[in-house]
Structure 1
Amino acid sequence: MRVIPSEVSSITKSQGERSVFAALKEIPNQESVALHSVHLGRHRWKRVGEIDFVVITPDILLFIEVKGGRVVQKNGQWYYGPAGREAGPKESPFSQASGGMHELERKLGTMVGDLRDLGVPSGYLVITTDIDLDRTTEFEPEQYLGSTAYAGGRGLEQAMKRAARFWQGRNRWARTPVSGGVRRKILDAIRPEFDLVPNLQSRLADLDVVFERLTNEQMDRLDELDSNPRLIWTGGAGTGKTFLAAEAARRKSAVGSVLFTCASSTLAAYLTRILAEDAITVLPFDRLDEVKHRTFDHLILDEAQDLMTFDSLEVLEELVADGLEEGHWIFMLDQNNQVLAPDSYDPDAWDYLRTLGSVYGPMKRNCRNTVQIVKQVQQFTGADLGIASAGEGSPAQFVDSRDPQHEAELLDNYVNELVQQDVSVQDITLLSASGNWETSSARLSRRASKIQRFIDIVGSETAKHRLTWSSIADFKGHESHIICLIDLEPEHLDGRLDAIYVAWTRARAQLWISCRPNVRKKLATLGTTVLERNGGLK
């Protein structure tokens, strides 16, 4: 049976769920599909709900609740966990399964139509992988699979067939087999709710419920993990490459050791805390000597355009089991780098690499930037950022500054305006085109004493509720709700466009740009050059 995701996530701690996951994959059924860990973001009486498995078959829509380890029922109350450390009292597993089933049925009714009208039977099955529950009036035998009958997974297929027959009798409107078209609609409706991945920031902030909704394009990429050992995913800034790379690393870590690397030391520091799994090693490329005597089952390289040289590929060759030609790896690449920063990009190395793996791209959905920011970047650099899906926003604000002192005053006024609109200063990042803190206009700001440097706090727990300052290079791969580009002189726009490309695409909502003398003139020249190159001017 096809199970989505194809590999159990490393964040799944339940050994019972892991056992059922493996047992479902062993069932020789090509018509059915099971989704593991389906989130219910709008559960009526819980902050967030979850269904362990949803199995879509021609016979039934089956909801499976799994309880591994010790389960105890005392005086009508349910407790889970080792003796002396039980969690509870809680709902019975049968109430949990029933509640999740009805909540998802209600959701599906608004998306694909009433399941009863479609003739789709549904029901639930509770599995306790390690114990056998005594029979109670709360459930019928067909609704339950205990440890003895489960038999390490060997009894699962038969129990599912038995449950299907039982629930078909209860769902008298059932018209089976359910057509493939209806099953596909159900899968398409559930999948966006299922493929919710805790976003990168929430893993640092330890928030309870902050999920990213994957696009169909991103879901397709993750589906490739099972069938393609060597993958190259390309896309412009904001298309979710780092987000996908992190999720791919988590999924791959369930079946082997993973090396995650990139050129940026700040991005590596950030991801070290996010990917805090025993099987994942995160290191910037310039520190790979620390693992030079090891090989890893899987290699993931983010921002691969920064390391697209034969020398870099030779280093990576030695670190992945079976090498680049036969090993398992994923390279995330921004194709715009070929135009914006050609000095660090060897086209021959790219031509060689692409013969070794399956290439997809460019990814078309920009998940980070607003329509206005995407258009702004394209206007001045010609870079392809994909189709903006973050919605409408404010136009980029350009202000003229005479010198660092004047720029600091303009910056203070803008930040004050934001604060008066209840914007948190923690959501504002100052990006310096010069990258020199000692000469930055930020040091002349009235808030200077309360500005934290990004390089000092990234990947740590020392971040405070303050403005953040960073060089553009150190902020590559990161993002902020509001970006203020400062210290921008005309010479920063000579030859290479990657500085403004990186800086402008870091902004999720608003972009504020301070232009020193002659910067606007230089930007206008860049925009004209792009138009001419694209045939917009004659």
Structure 2
Amino acid sequence: MRIFPSEISSRTRSKGERSVFTALKTIQDDQSVALHSVHLPEHRRKRVGEIDFVVIMPDILLFIEVKGGRVVEDGGNWYYGPVGREDGPKESPFAQASGGMHEFEREIGGLVGDLRNHGVPSGYLVVTPDIDLPPLTEYKPEQYLGKTAYDGGRGLSQGIERAARYWLRRNRWARTPVSASLRKKMLEATRPQFDLVPNLHSKLLHLDVAFERLTNEQLDRLDESESNDRLIWTGGAGTGKTFLAAEAARRKAVNGSVLFTCASTTLAAHVAGILAGEAITVLPFDRLDEAVGRTFDHLIVDEAQDLMTFESMDTLEKLLVGGLAEGRWLFLLDQNNQVLSPASYDPEAWNYLLSMGSRFGPLRRNCRNTTQIVKQVHFYTGADLGVASAGEGEPVRFESVEGVQQEATALDTYVSDLVQQGVSPKDITLLSVSGDWEASSARLSQRSSKIERFADVVGTERTKNRLTWSSIADFKGHENHVVCLIDLEPVHLEGRLDAIYVAWTRARAQLWVSCRPGSRQKLKDLGVAGLERMGAQG
């Protein structure tokens, strides 16, 4: 059975939903289509409900509600989750499925016409993959698939067939099979989300899946290069270098000790979290003195453009068995820093490194940024981020403000709009150009008491659903779905193309830029200069 999206996002925490997703994909049925996580809007922008799966079949529309883990019914009240941490009381999964079904029918009727008039029958199926509910008056046996019958997913196809037969008998107006053209209209109206204008939360979910698929494709490149002891990977921001670095570290740890380093303390903390439990030493460059006296079989250096000096090379040389000339190492760097010319980049050190290793790249597939963000960065800086392979997103938004207080007000309005669209505050980062919290407009935000400092929470299991605030330097090598660039003064743009490049490429799906007086004109001047450069190169 086809399913949209074709891969499930890592943001889907429910093991039950993941199990059903996998089981649906294995069903041998080339006529039916399943859609995962369909959102139901009360109006065009506000998300108010969700259906786990909508299955468009030739004979029926079937809605599947999945409740993984522990489910308890007590006197008509329903509770979900482990003992002591139950979520409830709530309505039953059958009431949830019924409500979602009727809301879907009402909304889609406005797009393709009333389903009953079209003769389209519908029904629902509740699945509890981990438990068996006792018989209750709440449901008929055909409306339910428990752990035993589900059988790890092997019984899902039979459960769907049984539910379809049951609901067809109750939909006496049904005219089946539903025409292929009408099923296509329903699919087009529903995909990628059911929102008439897909809200940002919906788009983030689908971009997540695309990003994950694209990043995994980079592993093919890693496979091709494993036979080389000294390798240099190049690629622009968003091309998956840190992902590859972490995966390379895991693979090399099988054959000896591994040191992973980078200039950024926050990036090192993030990677340490990713590689937790692995026999890999992760240290930021300024803490390599903790490894003095040791030598490692493998060295991996991420964001190596920040360490491209002979002094840094000397430090790394002493920590690697065989040194840089004979040892086994992998350097990953962003070649755009040659265009942006940061002070820490020494071309002679780069040539020295090239003389000892094999260069692979540049990576051309951008796994992080949408088309709109890639185009904006290239327009202003001339930097090559590769091909934005995840597709379209929201246009970059520029907000002109008169000062700090007005910026804080505009920021609050924008964040509130995002939250109304179902975006979690956790998915939003406030990126300060000045890097000074005490002077930042974020301190004047109505949400200031609930803003976390990124440097304090990176590498930890964040439990609070809060915005993060960061300097550009601390956020280098990181990303978030939505980035709000704040505290931007004209002086910050003087000779600072690198700051724009780093800041703007942190946004995966949406970028919001607040411009204080003079900043917008300075950006326009940079854009004109960029066009002139491209014209001269052409």
Between the aligned partners of 1:401 and 1:210, the Cα distance in structure 2 is 34
**Counterpart of 1:450?**
450
**Counterpart of 1:434?**
434
How much has 1:359 moved relative to structure 2?
0.3
Between the aligned partners of 1:366 and 1:426, the Cα distance in structure 2 is 23
Between the aligned partners of 2:516 and 2:216, the Cα distance in structure 1 is 42
**CA contact under 8 A between 1:341 and 1:496: conserved in structure 2?**
no
* Structure 1 residues 484 and 405: alpha-carbon distance in aligned structure 2, compared to 1, 3 A threshold: same
- Aligned-partner residue type, residue 467 of structure 2: L
| Residue deviations 1:463-513 (CA, integer Å, cap 9, x gap) | 521011000100001000000000000011111211111110000110000
**Counterpart of 1:15?**
none
**Counterpart of 2:400?**
400
**Counterpart of 2:257?**
257
**CA contact under 8 A between 1:256 and 1:279: conserved in structure 2?**
no
| Residue deviations 1:266-313 (CA, integer Å, cap 9, x gap) | 000111111113420000000000001101111000000000000000
**Counterpart of 2:467?**
467
Between the aligned partners of 2:277 and 2:242, the Cα distance in structure 1 is 17
- Aligned-partner residue type, residue 401 of structure 2: S
**Counterpart of 1:196?**
none
Between the aligned partners of 1:429 and 1:300, the Cα distance in structure 2 is 28
How much has 1:226 moved relative to structure 2?
3.0
TM-score by length of 1: 0.61
**Counterpart of 2:364?**
364
**CA contact under 8 A between 2:241 and 2:302: conserved in structure 1?**
yes
How much has 1:366 moved relative to structure 2?
0.3
Between the aligned partners of 1:441 and 1:214, the Cα distance in structure 2 is 36
**Counterpart of 2:379?**
379
| Residue deviations 1:388-441 (CA, integer Å, cap 9, x gap) | 011101110001011100000000000111111111111000000000000000
| Residue deviations 1:82-103 (CA, integer Å, cap 9, x gap) | xxxxxxxxxxxxx99xx8xxxx
| Residue deviations 1:235-263 (CA, integer Å, cap 9, x gap) | 00000000110111111111111100000
**CA contact under 8 A between 1:457 and 1:463: conserved in structure 2?**
no
Between the aligned partners of 2:396 and 2:342, the Cα distance in structure 1 is 27
**Counterpart of 2:285?**
285
**Counterpart of 2:523?**
523
**Counterpart of 1:322?**
322
Point out where structure 1 has 5 or more consecutive residues left out of the alignment.
1-38, 48-94, 100-208
Q: Does 1:44 align with 2:23?
A: yes
SS at match of 1:342: coil
Between the aligned partners of 1:430 and 1:419, the Cα distance in structure 2 is 15
SS at match of 2:296: coil
SS at match of 1:253: helix
Counterpart mapping for 1:42-441 below 5 A? 43-44=22-23, 212-214=212-214, 218-441=218-441
Between the aligned partners of 1:215 and 1:515, the Cα distance in structure 2 is 33
**CA contact under 8 A between 1:336 and 1:384: conserved in structure 2?**
yes
**Which has the larger displacement, 219-228 or 263-272?**
219-228
- Aligned-partner residue type, residue 285 of structure 1: F
- Aligned-partner residue type, residue 290 of structure 1: E
**Which has the larger displacement, 272-281 or 484-493?**
272-281
Between the aligned partners of 2:359 and 2:211, the Cα distance in structure 1 is 28
**CA contact under 8 A between 1:217 and 1:365: conserved in structure 2?**
no
**CA contact under 8 A between 1:427 and 1:481: conserved in structure 2?**
yes
How much has 1:343 moved relative to structure 2?
1.2
**CA contact under 8 A between 2:214 and 2:389: conserved in structure 1?**
no
* Structure 1 residues 438 and 358: alpha-carbon distance in aligned structure 2, compared to 1, 3 A threshold: same
**Counterpart of 1:484?**
484
SS at match of 1:332: strand
How much has 1:224 moved relative to structure 2?
3.4
SS at match of 1:343: coil
| Residue deviations 1:312-348 (CA, integer Å, cap 9, x gap) | 0010001111110111110001011112133110000
**Counterpart of 1:90?**
none
Between the aligned partners of 2:376 and 2:299, the Cα distance in structure 1 is 35
- Aligned-partner residue type, residue 413 of structure 1: T
* Structure 1 residues 298 and 238: alpha-carbon distance in aligned structure 2, compared to 1, 3 A threshold: same
**Counterpart of 1:495?**
495
Between the aligned partners of 1:277 and 1:349, the Cα distance in structure 2 is 34
Between the aligned partners of 2:525 and 2:211, the Cα distance in structure 1 is 41
Between the aligned partners of 1:407 and 1:40, the Cα distance in structure 2 is 45
Between the aligned partners of 1:422 and 1:403, the Cα distance in structure 2 is 29
**CA contact under 8 A between 2:303 and 2:334: conserved in structure 1?**
yes
In the alignment of these two chains, the number of paired residues is 345
**CA contact under 8 A between 2:374 and 2:388: conserved in structure 1?**
yes
Between the aligned partners of 2:537 and 2:310, the Cα distance in structure 1 is 39
SS at match of 2:294: coil
**CA contact under 8 A between 1:234 and 1:335: conserved in structure 2?**
yes
Point out where structure 2 has 5 or more consecutive residues left out of the alignment.
1-17, 27-150, 155-208
**CA contact under 8 A between 2:342 and 2:498: conserved in structure 1?**
no
Between the aligned partners of 2:460 and 2:242, the Cα distance in structure 1 is 19
Between the aligned partners of 1:211 and 1:395, the Cα distance in structure 2 is 18
* Structure 1 residues 357 and 217: alpha-carbon distance in aligned structure 2, compared to 1, 3 A threshold: farther
TM-score by length of 2: 0.61
How much has 1:221 moved relative to structure 2?
2.3
How much has 1:534 moved relative to structure 2?
1.3
- Aligned-partner residue type, residue 43 of structure 1: T
Between the aligned partners of 2:498 and 2:528, the Cα distance in structure 1 is 17
Between the aligned partners of 2:537 and 2:355, the Cα distance in structure 1 is 38
Between the aligned partners of 2:389 and 2:253, the Cα distance in structure 1 is 30
How much has 1:537 moved relative to structure 2?
10
**CA contact under 8 A between 1:365 and 1:387: conserved in structure 2?**
yes
Between the aligned partners of 2:537 and 2:330, the Cα distance in structure 1 is 40
* Structure 1 residues 267 and 481: alpha-carbon distance in aligned structure 2, compared to 1, 3 A threshold: same
- Aligned-partner residue type, residue 263 of structure 1: A
* Structure 1 residues 368 and 518: alpha-carbon distance in aligned structure 2, compared to 1, 3 A threshold: same
SS at match of 2:438: coil
SS at match of 2:212: strand
SS at match of 1:422: coil
Between the aligned partners of 1:280 and 1:214, the Cα distance in structure 2 is 26
- Aligned-partner residue type, residue 412 of structure 1: D
**CA contact under 8 A between 1:368 and 1:508: conserved in structure 2?**
yes
